[in-house]
Each structure stands twice: as structure tokens, then as C-alpha cells.
């Protein structure tokens, strides 16, 4: 069965895998290609991630990420959703990322300084580094840049916690 879906705006290239139907579909920006295998889609995704600097064993290997400037805060939002945290306790809060690789921690700290400023600390017990924001002014800058529009994809509960902290 072929299903036609009307699209009012052009789509960016994407891949869809439907496990229950065992179908993989690729949209290359111009047309849909059906019956791609899951492995084809995974290989293409891996190639695309490598192009922007994502690599295997990133804990111990680091190469500068090639994320275009206009997507930096989107990257930080996705990274927050996946590996970051937002915590609040009586009289304090922090937005943080725990990172094993000091080069990656410094890269993120430096690249983010155009928008907001992270502090960094080393935890000897876990042999990791924490990038964190713990003051209101910086958290507000982080919020305004990372959640820059009302329609961004994010984990709503993290977004809601930060909004509550900032009184939005």
C-alpha cells in the first residue's frame, strides 16, 4: 500500500525506519526512496555524523566538531537533552554537562563563550570534568540562545525546569 502525504514545506534529507513493517525510506531532498535497508540508513547516518566531527570512542579521542555557527545552540540543546542536567535545590541551581575528555570540555566552553559562559571543574573521583552555569544572568543567556524559539525540539521536562528556575 502506498501512502501519499501532502507536504506544504520542503523537507530536508531524512531517513525513516519503520521496524514493525521492516521498511526503511530515505528522502534525499528531492524524492523518496523506498526499500532501503536499516543498515543502509545507519551507514548514511554514520557518514553524515563523521562529516560534522562526531567520532567513535569520543570519550578518549577528540577532534574539533565542525558544527556550523547557526546550529551551535541547537547542538547544545540536543547535548543537554542527552547528556546534560538541570538541577535546583534550595537557593541554588545549575545547568551542567559531565565530560570525560578535557579537550572536548574546553572546546565547548570556548565555542559557547560567544553566547554564555561555562565554569569548569574537575572531579577526581569520576575522573571527569563538569561544565556548569550556576548564576541567573548566565542561565538566562543560555535559555535565550538554546531555546531560541517556541518550536524547538527538546525534552520538555528539562525546558520546563529551566523556565521555572528563571521565573518564565
36 φ, ψ (degrees, to nearest 5): -75, 150
Q: What is the pLDDT of residue 161?
A: 85
Listed residue (153, 151, 108, 157) closest to 133, CA to CA? 108
Q: What is the pLDDT of residue 3?
A: 45
The reported pTM is 0.65
Q: What is the pLDDT of residue 6?
A: 45
Domain covering 69-166, topology: Endonuclease I-creI (3.10.28)
User: Would you give per-residue pLDDT tens digits along the chain (168 residues)?
Assistant: 444 444 444 555 565 666 666 666 666 666 666 656 666 667 776 777 677 666 665 556 666 778 888 889 988 998 898 889 999 888 889 999 999 889 989 999 999 999 999 999 999 999 999 999 999 999 999 999 998 866 667 778 788 888 888 887
C-alpha cell at 90: 534550595
Q: What is the pLDDT of residue 138?
A: 94
Place of cell 540562545: 145
Q: What is the pLDDT of residue 15?
A: 57
Q: What residue spans in the chain does CATH classification 3.10.28.10 cover?
A: 69-166
Beta bridge partners of 129: 99, 122
Q: What is the pLDDT of residue 21?
A: 60
Amino acid at each position: 500500500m502506498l501512502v501519499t502525504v501532502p507536504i506544504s514545506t520542503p523537507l530536508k534529507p531524512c531517513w525513516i525506519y519503520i521496524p514493525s513493517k521492516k521498511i526503511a525510506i530515505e528522502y534525499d531532498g528531492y524524492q523518496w526512496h523506498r526499500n532501503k535497508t536499516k543498515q543502509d540508513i545507519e551507514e548514511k547516518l554514520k557518514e553524515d555524523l563523521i562529516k560534522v566531527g562526531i567520532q567513535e570512542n569520543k570519550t578518549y579521542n577528540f577532534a574539533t566538531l565542525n558544527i556550523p555557527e547557526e546550529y551551535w545552540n541547537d547542538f547544545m540543546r540536543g547535548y543537554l537533552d542527552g547528556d546534560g542536567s538541570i538541577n535546583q535545590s534550595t537557593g541554588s541551581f545549575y545547568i551542567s554537562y559531565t565530560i570525560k575528555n578535557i579537550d572536548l570540555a574546553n572546546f565547548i566552553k570556548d565555542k559557547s563563550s560567544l553566547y554564555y559562559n561555562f565554569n569548569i571543574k574537575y572531579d577526581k573521583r569520576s575522573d571527569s570534568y563538569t561544565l556548569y552555569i550556576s548564576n541567573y544572568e548566565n542561565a538566562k543567556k543560555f535559555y535565550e540562545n538554546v531555546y531560541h524559539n517556541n518550536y524547538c525540539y527538546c525534552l520538555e521536562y528539562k525546558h520546563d525546569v529551566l523556565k521555572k528556575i528563571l521565573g518564565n
